[in-house]
């Protein structure tokens, strides 16, 4: 199953399916975002910690973010795989995504963002991911 990862601000990178938010903060008013998927959004405490550190030490803030968000995503992947095994099904059958859905956050593709980390987690679960 193919999923797209893109910025809310770059609709040209959206897939043909639904728009699902994976962004910290609000979803855009100018788009129809069907649902937010919190498991792929950095935890609120991680976001707060990152924002408090970024002005004083960007390198340490980035390192901390990558470590903690990686752990969050690893736990998510393990949980989905465990549930799939319990139900004797494929991990893709556990999640609510449909062919062509776009998972979107705010950052444009040319800037650093966490969608690449989300893409790797989704690939581990068997998705074909188009990363923008």
**pLDDT above 80 for 70:** yes
Per-residue model confidence (pLDDT) at position 15: 98
As a dihedral over the C-alpha atoms of residue 18, residue 21, residue 22, residue 24, rounded to 10 degrees, the angle is 170
User: Cα–Cα distances in Å, from 60 out to 6, 56, 90?
Assistant: 26, 9, 38
For residue range 17-59, what is the model confidence (pLDDT) as tens digits?
A: 999 999 987 788 889 898 999 999 999 999 999 989 988 988 9
Q: What percent of the chain has pLDDT over 90?
A: 83
Read off the pLDDT band of 110 (50, 70, 90).
confident
Number of domains forming the structure of the chain: 1
Report CA dihedral (69, 108, 95, 74) to the nearest 10 degrees: -20
SS3 74: helix
- Residue 79 burial (CB count, 10 A): 13
Domain membership of residue 28 as a residue range: 2-131
The pLDDT of residue 116: 95
């Amino acid at each position: 199953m193919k999923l797209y990862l893109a910025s809310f601000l770059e609709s040209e990178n959206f897939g043909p399916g639904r728009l699902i938010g994976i962004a910290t903060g609000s979803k855009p008013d100018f788009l129809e975002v069907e649902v937010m998927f919190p498991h792929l959004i950095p935890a609120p405490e991680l976001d707060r910690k990152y924002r408090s550190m970024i002005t004083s030490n960007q390198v340490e803030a980035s390192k901390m973010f990558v470590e903690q968000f990686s752990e969050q995503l690893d736990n998510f992947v393990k949980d989905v795989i465990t549930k799939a095994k319990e139900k004797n099904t494929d991990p893709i059958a556990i999640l609510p995504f449909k062919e062509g859905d776009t998972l979107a956050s705010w950052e444009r593709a040319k800037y650093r963002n966490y969608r690449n980390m989300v893409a790797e987690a989704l690939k581990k679960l068997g998705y074909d991911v188009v990363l923008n």
